[in-house]
Structure 1
Amino acid sequence: MLNMGVLHAQVERYAVVINEIMVDPTPVIGLPNAEFIELRNCSKQTIDLNKWKIEKGTSIYSISTTTLLKPDSIIVLCSKSNIALFASIRSVAMNAFPALINEEGTLALKSPDNRTIHAVRYQSSWHENGIKASGGWSLEMIDPLKPCEKNNWGSSTHRNGGTPGLENSIYLKKSFAFEFEIRQCVAVNENVLLLQLANGMDSNSLSTHSNYLFNDMPDQIQQVNAVGPLFDEAWIKLKSPIKQTVIYTIQLNNILSCKKEKMFEGVVQTGLLKEPSPKDILINEVLFNPPSDGEDFVELYNHGTGVVNVYDLYLSSYNQLGSLNTSYKMGDGFYNLFPGDYVVISEDTSFVRKYWPGAILKKMIQMKAMPSMPDDEGNIALLDKQGRLIDKMNYTEKMHFPFVSEKSGVSLERIQFSASSSDATNWHSAASTFGHGTPTLENSQHNKITSYTSAFQASSKIISPNNDGVDDFLSIQYQLNQPGYMCSVYLFGLNGNMIAKIADNQLLGTKGSIVWNGLNRQQILPTGQYIVYIEAFHLNGKTLKEKILIGVR
């Protein structure tokens, strides 16, 4: 006979939630040396967990005995071999218990009819510090009534390292609102898109195709399917194929939170992925000499016309024999980098955010390992998935502005996208007024001229070489009708005396720049006016001459 008051029929999603996880019990802090999963009944009814399952990947682990879980009560799941270790608390042994991966993993709680009741994709980065992430401390949910919020987990603060069978030590210790965040929309092919969200949502509203407007054109979406068990992704099938190098916009409306408490809307861009060619993705900023509490970073910029999957790229370096050292893939899956966008790669993105609070978290990728970047000199190579070179930068600490006395924590920034990464004059120390770095943002030393009135043109008529990010250098940009010009650039005082030679018989392309740091023999020039004299000659006999009046302050 069925026990009256016990729910055996279909239960609502999130009636029971995964409330605490111990994925790495060693070193032992005060709990048994055993992995466990804790469940909490958030409903108002007693629920029988018999035949309920934990799903990990394609493996299923079942509860095979009558297990009554009362409202607002807790139970611990563990392996049969470890059940004696939890004899003092409410626990149930599973004949087979999932082996929990330390760094990250996905667990789904399913009812006997195979419906997903709750799921969580845990990460060791949810721990508050590296000590707790290294083992012995459980991950606890803060608010069990907000089961889909990504910020709803943290390290246990209990002296034993966790609270199996008890109220979580961080229960309701932090208040937060549910955040609707669209991570990206990937064009897997010309007819299929993958929408990725930061949090799980209501699967029905996420699967309703009328809640989407593609490129301001109605009736362009054929079908949408939310992806379980987390429901933070959805496959979108289009009626018509999309085109290469075109950026499209999708408007989302009437998307409900996972418990249907709030409604959200948002906009996301997408576009067909393009295999990058050399000069499509540029090395744009590097920090190779970080502070003692920081890590190196490399910033990339999409200078091309198409969307590139950054996770298909590799960072590497060349040894003295010209061979590649170990190459490091940037990630698995997808990371859209749109034309004109930046992304920063580091082994510690929290350091980047700490030192540059304006840096954008969504534009950072944390890698487990990167190529070694010596503090004095080295190189960074960017490769595509076939191992072809996309960009390379050679660096040395001597490329920093000479009057930067403390070079630790100061990045080198690219000045112009059009100039070569291998040109040492195309790099400059990040401005002190920008915190000596601009990760995920436009470089403080970025320089551009949008139109040319003559063959040679100065970026500014004033130069102030004090590394404050304002006119720190002189960029003489040129646009010529043919290659093959040899160019020399001189600096004269108003009295006609030559003071410095800025360039000596430099071979020019059809478009580029000559950069001068404003120093003469590593000394700042006296404040005043000077004449920049440019002379270029071609083997066909044609000569170009230009005088530019500049001021030094």
Structure 2
Amino acid sequence: MKRYLFAVICMVYFVASDAQAQSVWTDDFSNFRHPDRWFGDTSLFSNNGASGMLSLADSVARDAQLFRLSSAWDSARWQFRVEMDFTPSSSNYAAFAVGMHRTDLFGDNQGYFVRIGGGTQRRISLMRRNGTTNATVVESSANFLQVPNVGVDIELERSPQGVWTLKCDTGSGMMILGSALDNTISPGPYVGFICRYTATRADKIRFSNLSVEGGSFYSNSPFLVSRVEVMDNHRAILELSHPPVFSSLQQLNLTPRVNFNGLYHRDDPYRIELIFTSDTFEYNRQYVYRISGLQSSESLENLDSSIVFFRFKPKVGDVIINELMIDPSPAVAHLPEIEYVELFNATQWDLDLGNWQIQTGSTHRFLPEVTIPSKGYLLLVRANDAWWFSDSLLVAPMDWGVNALPNSSGLVLLFSPDAEIMDRVDYQLDWYNDAAKSGGGWSLERRIKDRMCNDPSNWGASNSAIGGTPGRANSLTELIEPLRVSHTAFLGGRWGEVYFNLPIEDDSELEVTVRGVKTDRFLRHERCLRIDLAPFIDQVEMPVRIEGVLSDCMGQKWGDTTLVFVKPERPKPGELLINEILPAPPTNGASYVELINASNAWLDLQGVSLARYDAEVFDIRRLLDSSFLFAPGQIIAFSPHPDRIVRDFTNSNSGAIRRASLPSMPNASGGLALLGQEGILLDSMLYDESMHSPFLQDVRGISLERVHPNNPSMERETWVSATSQAHWGTPGLPNSQFRNMGHTEEAFSLGKDVINLNRSELLEVFYDFADMGGVGHLRIHTANGFEVYVFPQRDLLGSSGVLVWDGRTSRGEYAPSGLYIVSLEVLFPSGKRKVYKDAFAIVH
């Protein structure tokens, strides 16, 4: 059965007086079989000819129950008399229930009841029922009813604060049996009599003198339709704020007029079912009716309101896979070590997912009967593990194995009741984009809920301190990498390909021109736009103009642009060079090798490999299997873990770092060889720790940079440590130690002679040295020599660069107006020491 809930917003009008705040009534049982009075086992009771007494009138052993609607709860008093022509026992007793949620006391229910007898100690007890468990709230002394025949008047009171007082009168006056505070159970709409008896006692229990008064738990709330649930094309259920008068269902009308039958559900008095005589509800179409004639059982108001029927058919994006805990061990903080799949309901309606399916790997499972609220979350977990999660979370137990979600990679599919795919996630371990978190204890979270991107751009490791956000909003921000060109390629001597960093959509209209000539010979596929360049292949350059709007699945746009295609050459020795290496990564980091196109030609890097080098080459690893156009002067870095490189090196270009397997690179010393497609040696270099600056005590996490492409790769002087200002590495960016050949001039200057701190201006100190690898120490003094600020550490400087001071003293206060001296002391590896000074002023 397909069922969808639709929360109704309606304009409600009433034709009766304000809802009553008090529920006051008595019953002499003269008309107890009227459908608006008592229901249940009415055939097992008699009113003894309207004598004012309700008598059990059975002949076999069983349980008998009578219930009716009542909302008395605050400052409430329930009074009744019970008579039993026997001594009560665990098999023969009576009870009176209040605030019950359903009509079967002996089943799964919630509420309170006064039990007269029962058990082996023959007490009068106030009991609390929660599910199928009873607990004592107040009770009399043991054997209080150890008498041959019982005749007792019972009075039960409840204060607004939830204090219950149980009283009784056995003929000597009303006495208090006890009081207790208990607000465990919220009020339900039913009160009633319950009898449990054997055959010999089946006509020996009587009730009389019933009266009820108290503040209604409905308070002054109006009588209205709170929700409509469309079951199928001809059935709907109305949820009401108050239970209706049963007989008024016959006067229920819908306008415009439509033929239907109404059914009342006694087990849920707030719901009525409408069965239409013909197919009425189409998918995703609203039907507005005016409903009237139904009467509230509490206030006797007549319902007169407009309601909307809506038969919902889900579409992609309505319910999404929002979070995955694929590897819960070891736990980070307080989350249980339990796999889970989190779903999110993006619609404005509460949805019953009872006929939806989830697929993990190749295994399909139906979801249990559960309603996920609008904009709410649902956790799917293995049935045996559901109890681990807080009661405040909506959890659905699933018939899953222990490892339903593989750690390294997996597939999760969500299906609608019509077996249509609503969401799909083909996750990979590298979606974490965080080496430490991919080891376990952290969930994968979706970044943007309304973007159906089955792609790492829309997923990442949770930022929550406890490792995940089950049942609440995800911790990841919606900031994502902008859509950009990743690289270009040239295939088959005719096809120019533009690759993007994110998958592109197929619904955009584009106009492509090559050398000013419009062409329709292009196509899109996932991350690639392929253009036929055959008619222009004899040209030296083929500028391609792309106009229109390309968008990715995240909704980002990529506008008009011009790209140049050139028939590439295969790299020759000396044209493609090793430009930067990191053999000794930081803790939990990764190595990288950076290449540079040192030629004036466009190169194709397809088939280029990197290998260990030590008199001969070994451990050869291919970097690129497909075409990759590499422009003159372009830089690209390769690493097995680009995410770690971007994390550890803030001065990096994530768009120029590609994933690739690298040969092993010993930390202390080693060699690398760069090979062309046919195994031609393009470049090689040897390295060891002593090539780093002598001022460094620990070289882990510090790269060796090439000072200039023209310097021989095998010369030690070609390689120096990256600067501290560049955060010890520049993967994908120009080297921090780049130096023009033959440079001998020196310079030291300030960006401004006067800085105004009221305008948040900064002091910029520019330097340009003839020597390389110097360690600098910057100080700020007043004109009379008082030290204002000392940079907290000595910087490993490049041959040129800039140092910045924000005007704050060592105590964190802004320096006062006046004249100051800046001095830069530099110590070079050769032992040469130089001091540079200049004056400047501060104003406010």
Q: Is TM more than 0.5 here?
A: yes
What does residue range 382-421 of structure 1 map to in structure 2 within 5 Å? 382-384=674-676, 387-400=679-692, 404=695, 406=697, 408=699, 411-421=703-713
Matched, 1:240 2:240: no
SS of residue in 1 equivalent to 2:613:
coil
CA distance in 1, matches of 2:732, 2:379: 43
Matched, 1:204 2:507: yes
CA distance in 1, matches of 2:590, 2:552: 37
CA distance in 2, matches of 1:410, 1:222: 48
What is the match of residue 72 of structure 1?
375
Matched, 1:39 2:304: no
What is the match of residue 329 of structure 2?
26
How many angstroms does 1:308 deviate by?
Answer: 3.1
What is the match of residue 340 of structure 1?
633
SS of residue in 1 equivalent to 2:655:
helix
Q: Could you say what the CA RMSD is over the residues aligned between the two structures, in angstroms?
A: 4.8
What is the match of residue 280 of structure 1?
575
Contact 2:495 2:534 in 1 (8 A): no
Contact 1:412 1:430 in 2 (8 A): yes
Select the structure that is richer in strand. 2
How many angstroms does 1:193 deviate by?
Answer: 5.3
CA distance in 2, matches of 1:329, 1:291: 25
What does residue range 525-540 of structure 1 map to in structure 2 within 5 Å? none
What is the match of residue 523 of structure 2?
224
Q: What amino acid is the match of 2:343?
A: L
Matched, 1:155 2:462: yes
Contact 2:494 2:537 in 1 (8 A): no
Q: Note closer, same or farther for the CA distance 1:93–1:2 as it changes in structure 2 (3 Å cut).
A: closer
Q: What amino acid is the match of 1:282?
A: L
Q: Note closer, same or farther for the CA distance 1:33–1:287 as it changes in structure 2 (3 Å cut).
A: closer
SS of residue in 2 equivalent to 1:20:
strand
Contact 1:104 1:122 in 2 (8 A): yes
Residue in structure 1 matching 2:444, options 136, 139, 144? 139
CA distance in 2, matches of 1:526, 1:65: 74
Q: Note closer, same or farther for the CA distance 1:254–1:106 as it changes in structure 2 (3 Å cut).
A: farther
Q: What amino acid is the match of 1:133?
A: S
CA distance in 2, matches of 1:193, 1:430: 37
Provide, for residues 242-266 of structure 1, a one-character-per-residue CA deviation record: whole Å limited to 9, x for no partner: 6498565453532346476x65425
Q: Note closer, same or farther for the CA distance 1:412–1:341 as it changes in structure 2 (3 Å cut).
A: same
What's the TM-score once normalised by structure 2's chain length?
0.44
Provide, for residues 337-385 of structure 1, a one-character-per-residue CA deviation record: whole Å limited to 9, x for no partner: 433211223456566556653321111235566522333x321122346
Residue in structure 2 matching 1:85, options 355, 372, 385? 385
Residue in structure 1 matching 2:602, options 276, 284, 306? 306
CA distance in 1, matches of 2:829, 2:317: 71
Unaligned runs of 5+ in 2: 4-229, 233-282, 284-310, 748-766, 773-826, 836-844
Q: Give the number of the structure whose alpha-carbon radius of gyration is greater.
A: 2
What is the match of residue 657 of structure 2?
364
Q: Note closer, same or farther for the CA distance 1:236–1:346 as it changes in structure 2 (3 Å cut).
A: closer
What is the match of residue 620 of structure 2?
327
Provide, for residues 447-469 of structure 1, a one-character-per-residue CA deviation record: whole Å limited to 9, x for no partner: 557xxxxxxxxx345479xxx76
Q: What amino acid is the match of 1:136?
A: G
What does residue range 510-549 of structure 1 map to in structure 2 within 5 Å? 524=832
Number of residue pairs aligned between Structure 1 and Structure 2? 445
Q: What amino acid is the match of 2:581?
A: V
Q: What amino acid is the match of 1:144?
A: K
CA distance in 2, matches of 1:460, 1:255: 46
Q: Note closer, same or farther for the CA distance 1:395–1:196 as it changes in structure 2 (3 Å cut).
A: same
CA distance in 2, matches of 1:471, 1:238: 51
Matched, 1:167 2:459: no
Contact 1:22 1:138 in 2 (8 A): yes
Q: Note closer, same or farther for the CA distance 1:107–1:333 as it changes in structure 2 (3 Å cut).
A: farther
SS of residue in 2 equivalent to 1:317:
strand
CA distance in 1, matches of 2:473, 2:458: 15
What's the TM-score once normalised by structure 1's chain length?
0.63
Contact 2:602 2:629 in 1 (8 A): no
How many angstroms does 1:94 deviate by?
Answer: 7.0
How many angstroms does 1:14 deviate by?
Answer: 1.9
Contact 2:590 2:644 in 1 (8 A): yes
Q: What amino acid is the match of 1:471?
A: A
What is the match of residue 480 of structure 1?
none
Unaligned runs of 5+ in 1: 228-232, 450-458, 474-518, 528-553
How many angstroms does 1:5 deviate by?
Answer: 6.4
CA distance in 2, matches of 1:204, 1:273: 32
How many angstroms does 1:392 deviate by?
Answer: 0.9
SS of residue in 1 equivalent to 2:445:
strand
Q: Note closer, same or farther for the CA distance 1:114–1:313 as it changes in structure 2 (3 Å cut).
A: farther
What does residue range 262-281 of structure 1 map to in structure 2 within 5 Å? 263-265=557-559, 267=561, 269=563, 271=565, 275-281=570-576
Contact 1:192 1:235 in 2 (8 A): no
SS of residue in 1 equivalent to 2:534:
coil
How many angstroms does 1:152 deviate by?
Answer: 5.4
How many angstroms does 1:399 deviate by?
Answer: 4.2
Q: What amino acid is the match of 1:236?
A: R
Residue in structure 1 matching 2:672, options 380, 392, 405? 380
SS of residue in 1 equivalent to 2:550:
strand
CA distance in 1, matches of 2:834, 2:368: 88
The 10-residue stretch of structure 1 (270-279 or 10-19) with the greater mean CA deviation from structure 2: 270-279
How many angstroms does 1:91 deviate by?
Answer: 3.1
The 10-residue stretch of structure 1 (143-152 or 387-396) with the greater mean CA deviation from structure 2: 143-152
CA distance in 2, matches of 1:49, 1:189: 53
CA distance in 2, matches of 1:280, 1:396: 24
Matched, 1:102 2:428: no
How many percent identity over aligned positions? 22
SS of residue in 2 equivalent to 1:140:
strand
CA distance in 1, matches of 2:636, 2:398: 46
The 10-residue stretch of structure 1 (148-157 or 88-97) with the greater mean CA deviation from structure 2: 88-97
CA distance in 2, matches of 1:346, 1:298: 7
CA distance in 2, matches of 1:352, 1:222: 39
SS of residue in 2 equivalent to 1:327:
strand
Provide, for residues 268-310 of structure 1, a one-character-per-residue CA deviation record: whole Å limited to 9, x for no partner: 7475665443333200123445566765432211234234347
Q: What amino acid is the match of 1:72?
A: K
The 10-residue stretch of structure 1 (288-297 or 275-284) with the greater mean CA deviation from structure 2: 288-297
Q: Note closer, same or farther for the CA distance 1:247–1:91 as it changes in structure 2 (3 Å cut).
A: farther
